[in-house]
Amino acid sequence: MKLLKSTATVGSATIISRILGFVRDVVLAKMFGASGETDAFFLAFKIPNFMRRLFAEGSFSLAFVPVLSEYKANGDRQALRDLVDHVTGTLAAVLLVLTAIGILAAPLVLSVFAPGWLANDRPEFNLSAGMLRITFPYIMLISLTALAGGILNTFERFLVPALTPILLNLSLIASALLLADHLEVPVTALAWGVLAAGFAQLLIQIPALMKLGLMPRPRWGWRHSGVRRIIKLMIPTLFGSSVAQVNLLVDSIIATFLAVGSVSWLYYSDRLLEFPLGVLGIALATVILPNLSQKHAKASTAEFSATLDWALRLAVIITVPAAVGLIILAGPILITLFQYDAFQLDDVRMSAYSLVAYSTGLPAFIAVKVLAPGYYARQDTKTPVKIAIAAMVTNMGLNLLFVGLLLQYGFEGPHAGLALASSAAAYLNAMLLFRGLRKRKVYLPERGWIRLWIAVILASLAMGCLLYFMTHDINSWYQAGVGLRVKNLSLSIAFGVIIYIFTCMVAGIKTHDLLRGAK
């Protein structure tokens, strides 16, 4: 039950964060809509997020946690503290230089992400460059927050790191409601909200680190053996993380050549996808990486495989119906959450196109989150990079193909081609990761998978039919007030969950399928 409880802890905290994230996006949609100004902010925010995922949650965390777990398993507390101090000092120094360069060269950095705006002399470019100077320090603050979170997660203190994103949502909500009306360009209040959130997210880690007795005392440690091992592991993981971020970069570049609002439509649909992805995918990845690292250090091959098997079973049971639900409820969800004031019906329709396309890839997105730690925990950082490169090349080719086809045939939402390409590339990534683990005999699937798949597919179809019957009259959603929208959506989701669980039980999914290997 230990892994299941830890996943539930992280997942529950993430649910709170995602709900507040929806509140945040409702406020943003109501106040700012989907316009050139919101496009400018979302891109100014995407760039520090790009770097955060590349360094903090990407290459650094994937290299740091396995090494820290190994130091922990050795039982030498002083050596562990020494590692934490030197890693913190080295990371902070590098990030400080990177942040200074980013602030000074903001227009140059933005030109890489938004060449369409620069080439067409669109006003969004200068507005976004100004906001980027405000948001860029977030990279340093959130990267140090990720370091603290890695320490806490290694010692199975999952709650504080999982609750940390809540502060970003609260900060953006407060800045929109309290600061926007006092600024010449109201949307710039959101950039200041991002910066304030970075400080808050870092500071909240301090009490937990002090309680653990591992509050870092930063020291430069380029030559420290542990730091050098982390750097060595980071090099291939940096390429692996950059592959995923290059895909996002390409999406942004293409979106800046499409209709005004394309960046915002993709943002709102991606935000809805982030709910199940964060609640389950990130929660599972957060929990199983230190667990797998410790089992690898102890040479517990059978338990290593059992942990992966359990995580994949849980992912299948939850993500397949979640994908079906998002596809069918795309319009009603967007109308209920965002279709007020500045966010128009056209914005709902355009966002729904990309949400459906993203949702088809949800099982694959989460499978990648589960399977990749199977390599990183064994300190095999090269194989996932090679696989990610293959997925990146595929994604880039499919971006051009799908968007080109949608434009050629006059489809009104060509930006959805970017989402569809991301989903297709995720399936390729997941398939190659799975095949690699099986080939190395690191993962040996346990019995019952065929029965599990049959039950999940039947239950998802039953749930999908019910949801379609309850929500297919989209005009009634347009005309309903906010109270009726929330009521109808809540009832639809509740009945969908009930019919899915009931059908799963009838089809033979047992509690054992959730608990197998969860220890």
DSSP letters along 82-132, please?
HHHHHHHHHHHHHHHHHHHHHHHTHHHHHHHH-HHHHHTT-THHHHHHHHH
In a domain, 501, yes or no: no
Q: What percent of the chain has pLDDT over 70?
A: 87
Burial profile 98-108: b = 16 or more Cβ within 10 angstroms, e = fewer:
bbeebeeebee
In a domain, 267, yes or no: no
In a domain, 216, yes or no: yes
CA pair distance 325, 352, nearest whole angstrom? 13
In a domain, 415, yes or no: no
Q: What is the pTM of this model?
A: 0.69
Total number of domains constituting the chain: 1
The mean pLDDT of 338-344, rounded to a whole number, is 74
CA pair distance 337, 352, nearest whole angstrom? 12
CA pair distance 249, 243, nearest whole angstrom? 10
pLDDT score, position 518: 40
CA angle (261, 262, 266) in 5-degree steps: 115
Q: What is the pLDDT of residues 183-225, one digit of tens each?
A: 888 889 999 999 999 999 999 999 999 988 888 888 887 788 8
Write down the H helix ranges in 329-381: 330-338, 345-359, 362-376
The count of other CB atoms within 10 Å of the CB of residue 388 is: 26
Contact 357/208 with Cβ under 8 angstroms? no
Min mean pLDDT across 136-145, 266-275, 360-369 is at 266-275
- Sole residue written with tokens 């996002």: 248
In a domain, 1, yes or no: no
CA pair distance 85, 277, nearest whole angstrom? 32
Would you give the DSSP letter of residue 446?
Answer: P
The domain in which residue 65 lies consists of 33-232
pLDDT score, position 459: 93
- Asked whether residue 519 carries a pLDDT value surpassing 60, the answer given is no
CA pair distance 298, 318, nearest whole angstrom? 31
In a domain, 178, yes or no: yes
* Confidence tier at 420 by pLDDT (50, 70, 90): very high
In a domain, 385, yes or no: no
Contact 107/331 with Cβ under 8 angstroms? no
The mean pLDDT of 361-388, rounded to a whole number, is 85
- Asked whether residue 134 carries a pLDDT value surpassing 80, the answer given is yes
- Sole residue written with tokens 């994949």: 312
- The chain-wide mean pLDDT, for the chain, equals 83
pLDDT score, position 120: 75
pLDDT score, position 201: 92
In a domain, 199, yes or no: yes
The count of other CB atoms within 10 Å of the CB of residue 397 is: 13
| Residue among 14, 10, 30, 334 nearest 173 (CA) | 30
